[in-house]
Amino acid sequence: MSLSPRLHIAESHKAKMEIARNRLMVAIFIFAAAFTLLGLRMLDLGLVQRVAEAGNNHSEHAAVMASRSDIVDRNGVVLATNLQTSSLFARPKRITEPRVAAARITAVLPELSEADVYTKLTSSKSFVWLKRKLTPREKWQVNALGIPGLDFQNEEERIYPQGAMASHVLGYVDIDGKGLSGIERFFNSRLSDPSFADEPLVLSMDVRVQHALGDELSKTMERFSAIGGAGVVLDIETGEVLAMASMPDFDPNHAGSASRDARFNRATAGVYELGSIFKTFTLAMALDSGVVELNDSYDARQPISIAGFKIKDDHPQNRILTLPEIFIYSSNIGAAKIAMDVGGEEQRNFLQRLGMLRPATIELGEVAWPLYPERWRDINTMTISYGHGIAISPLQLAVGSAAMVNGGELITATLIKDHDADYGDRRRIISESTSEQIRAMMRATVQIGTGKNANVPGYRVGGKTGTAEKSDVGGYREDALMSSFMGAFPMDAPRYLVLISVDEPKGIAETYNFSSAGWVAAPTVRNIVARIAPILGVEPSTEEDPHFQQAALLIDASKAN
């Protein structure tokens, strides 16, 4: 019996130990599980999520991205870019002495009115803009004032480093960076797309060519006191626009202060009767349809009277003219007769195919519809044959002329340089051989015809003058001309086309008071070609393509008036 209580004690002790051990085991298990969880979580954080976070860090690294991508020219010269600027705002409730503050702010920002600033600073709003987009210097000066309650907000500003150059092509943006005209507007969604932010939009333009075009055009305008001008330089193989100018121009950095007239793009949004350059189309159409041949001739002695209207020549030769003579002396009578032989229906179809009866295709919103008669009567056929009674944009004329010169294929004008494009979208308008004949006549026009002033020794320029009287209510004004010249070079393998239109030039003593195309536009094109040909890598040569002789033989220069 003496054993039993001890045994009992031992037994109960053992049971208690068992319970304690079990409890301990439970605790150990819980802790072990918790630590395992922690360990797993650490592994998760350390190995898996860390990689993701590192990725985040990386994207944070490349964070400086403008909200609008740059625009550059074909050689990468910056035409438009975004820079960070600061805008000044005030928290009126924190301004302690609004009158003093207003006086001191207007002292460093003189373009603000003191009364205006005072009203803003005393307003009940919690936030007012004082001035948007300060220059770094202005920002420093405002900071130096040390007025509490003023603060800056970082903003981006669109900068056009080239100033007024190519302003009509680039367009401009509003204060929030939304494109309002030109490329800025046409490609607004592309330019503001974040996925393209660090990928500049590459234009087909070349700033060097653009400068030569704009410089010569504005010089001509100044010289002849013209009211406007437009110019296009086109690559006739690819359709790339190398330069496009419209005068007067404006600075897109301050587009708001430019007049409507300055912002108007005369090269695409203006339609004009561009005159005799249309004879290129008339002769190409007639030669290509087989109605006439190069050595056919027309009597240009008598003016044509039709529907109370008299068609006469500006450079009258008063004799029977061969086709090349009609072209190089720009005979309206000859062109009208040729067009009548071809027929109005055919002429309309030809111009339709050439894209003269619909707006030009270009990456701009400012493109105007051409103006042409709804009913194509004989009088229309005649006047349109020499470029009156139809109004088109200078760009349209350049693209149409390119098809006459480049072997007969219509190209699509573009402002975008595209490495991948094969420029395959071409439509044949005239045959290769007709194009060759047109080229020969264009070269002869510059050698001995109305376009002599466009000749640049070595660069084989060929072209056509176009002098149009501007129409007004109730007829044409003889004193107001539109002088244009379309030139292509080098004529033995034409690659570039230059078109210049000068609006209302006034004759000067040096040009014997003439303001026609041969005196105004042709020398401008000569200067432009002389400047851009070396840039474009055109090799000068004194050798002439023998096929010009074919046309030259049909020209009796000794009888020229």
Partner 1 sequence: MKTSHIIIAALVFALALSGLFSLKFVAEGKERQLRALQNQVQDDQRAIRVLKAEWAYLNRPANIQDLAVKYLGLRPLAPKHIYGGLPSLPWRVASGKIDAPLVDFVMTPPDEPVRLANLGKQASIGDTEVILFEAPVVRQPMDAISLLMASDIRLVGGRP
Active-site amino acid positions? 276
Beta carbon nearer to partner 1, 68 or 439: 68
Residue 456 to residues 94, 251, 489, Cα–Cα distance (Å):
70, 32, 10
For residue 120, report the phi and psi dihedrals to the nearest 5 degrees: -65, -40
Beta carbon nearer to partner 1, 47 or 63: 63
Two structure tokens written together for 36: 């395992």
Beta carbon nearer to partner 1, 163 or 256: 163
Beta carbon nearer to partner 1, 78 or 109: 78
Residue 334: other Cβ atoms inside 10 A: 28
Least CB distance to partner 1 at residue 535 (A):
9
Two structure tokens written together for 424: 């395959």
Cis ω for the linkage preceding 248 (within 30 of 0) = yes
Which 3 state secondary structure label does DSSP give 517?
Answer: helix
Spatial CA neighbour of 437 closest among 266, 553, 310: 553
Which 3 state secondary structure label does DSSP give 430?
Answer: coil
Radius of gyration of the chain, Cα coordinates, nearest whole angstrom: 37
Report the residue count for the chain. Answer: 561
For residue 171, report the phi and psi dihedrals to the nearest 5 degrees: 80, -160
Sign of CA dihedral 35, 41, 43, 46: negative
Which 3 state secondary structure label does DSSP give 36?
Answer: helix
Least CB distance to partner 1 at residue 465 (A):
23
Least CB distance to partner 1 at residue 29 (A):
21
Please give the span between the terminal C-alpha atoms of the chain, in angstroms, as a whole number. Answer: 159
Integer Cα distance of 139 and 130 in angstroms: 12
60: Cα within 13 Å, side-chain hemisphere: 6
For residue 473, report the phi and psi dihedrals to the nearest 5 degrees: -60, 120
| 517 Cβ neighbours under 8 A, 6+ residues apart | 275, 276, 450, 451, 465, 466, 467, 483, 484, 485
Beta carbon nearer to partner 1, 166 or 551: 166
Two structure tokens written together for 321: 């003219």
Beta carbon nearer to partner 1, 81 or 381: 81
Two structure tokens written together for 138: 């202005």
Least CB distance to partner 1 at residue 364 (A):
22
Least CB distance to partner 1 at residue 78 (A):
4
Least CB distance to partner 1 at residue 454 (A):
15
CB 445 within 8 A of CB 465: yes
User: From the DSSP assignment, how many helices (H) and strands (E) are in the chain?
Assistant: 19, 16
Beta carbon nearer to partner 1, 183 or 402: 183
For residue 229, report the phi and psi dihedrals to the nearest 5 degrees: -165, 155
Q: Which residues bind partner 1 (CB under 8 A)?
A: 57, 60-61, 63-64, 66, 77-79, 81-84, 159, 161-163, 165, 207-208, 210-212, 215, 456-459, 530-531, 533-534, 539-541
Least CB distance to partner 1 at residue 211 (A):
3
Least CB distance to partner 1 at residue 367 (A):
27
Beta carbon nearer to partner 1, 94 or 219: 219
Least CB distance to partner 1 at residue 459 (A):
7
Beta carbon nearer to partner 1, 40 or 115: 40
Which residues sit opposite 201 in a β-bridge? Answer: 71
DSSP H helical ranges for 356-482: 378-385, 394-405, 432-448
CB 443 within 8 A of CB 491: yes
Least CB distance to partner 1 at residue 66 (A):
7
Which 3 state secondary structure label does DSSP give 476?
Answer: strand
Beta carbon nearer to partner 1, 356 or 532: 532
